[in-house]
Structure 1
Amino acid sequence: MRIVVTVKFVPDLQSQRSFTDGTVTRTAEDGTMNELDENAVEAALQLRESLPEGEGEVYAVTVGGADAVAAVRKALQLGVDHAVHVSDESIAGSDVFGTARVLAAAVHQIEKDGPVDLVITGMAALDGLTSMLPTALAAELDIAQLTLASSLTVADGTATIERHMADAHETVTAPLPALVSVTDEANKPRYPNFKLIMAARSKPVTTWSLSDIGVDPVQVGAMASRTTVIDASPRPPRQNRVTVTDKGDGGTQLAAFLVERGLA
């Protein structure tokens, strides 16, 4: 079984967010692999480990500038077999549809060495939180999609997920090849061990440009984006802060504060 898992390089949630030319500023210093993509990597690794040795391999794929390679390096530290970084100046400013087109082309490029049975993504990227990429990517690949999976199993050429909705519990299946997006309920991501961390330093990362994967630059990037950032400004500092010194009645003061403002 060959599995492709998508990972994204995003700004750290604790860092100061900013925009450059209408796009989120990303630097190696304050960036990291999208936290929800760790669940996707874990799901892929668990599937590989459930197979007889040598019958499964996992590719991690990311799209972005030079700094985005950190995302697939993290995936290598977690235990994936191969890392692919699609990087091209023409990709800058792509929306979810452009990104999905590039990722689909990368999957097709991987398929030149053999069929891809499963594509796994996280439920959302924490920089945008649109949750649109899994559906857009499945549409580009023209394969079935099983989204928001709380659990995932594969047997006899069929993927089965469980999905917890607000008012229902669903079990959904689809024949392979398929795309699955997993939630943070699907598993508990592992920590990289020292051996894998050291090995990841020397493991090769395959880098492709748009021409390598057959994507026309006019189909991606800011010019092809269906969305545009009109304006962005820093968040204003908070006003009218109230500092309470706890002298034994801090809880009472907090409760009175919430009641006064109709918050309790």
Structure 2
Amino acid sequence: MARILPHCSSHREPIIELSPALFLTTWAAGLAGVAALVAWWKVVGPGFGWLSAAVTALFGGIGWAVGGGWPAGVGTAAALIGLALARRPQPFALALGVGAVFLAAASVPDGGVLGTLSGALLLGGTTGEMLLGHWFLIDPTLPRWALKRLAAVGLAGVGADVAVLMFDAGGFGGEVIGWAFVVLAATTFVLLIAVWFALNEPSYPGVMAATGLSYLAILTAIGAAAAGRALVDEGTSLLGGDAGLSRIFLL
């Protein structure tokens, strides 16, 4: 049978130094996934594909250059291939989907599987919301359900990221960085809810308001993702797997 031993924790300063490769590859993976999703929906022209693929390649390329490893390089190459295929939605979606997988793989060694997925949902959803919102400002006749779905992706990312990072960090510990994480995550959640309701406004200013709010949501999402990861000790997976195994013994 398995016995769960009491967990003894001691106060410790959180690690504030972040890995640029981890952050950028997670962000690029999320944006690549969102770009592939939007292309599959076929709601917008190639301009969105060019922009989203270029930004993905930029983030992924920098992540590769600062230590993301060969998966980041492959993911960046896939984004560049997608850039050339933006006029063909399905091949573009396939290329960006492959890019998302490899960029996520580059993030997993330092970020953990669930930490990578939650961070990608958070950063990808909010960034995709803002980028697609610009196309709605250019062409207000585009369907708004796509923006609402991306807002929902971002909201899911907020909840998932808070759950994953809080579990691994073992709480806030009363640290300033912990409270910053709470405030930034809560603000991101509120902003994305506001985006959703702004899109219910049938007039053009509704989309303008939603796009402006998504700008703010990106800033707070970046801060929340960075602060949350600063709570996690260096070398510990985002699920605290090592700590969990140390508390479970098979008899």
Structure with higher helix content? 2
For normalisation by structure 1, the TM-score amounts to 0.29
Structure with higher strand content? 1
Higher RCO (Cα < 8 Å, 6 or more apart): 2
Larger Rg: 1
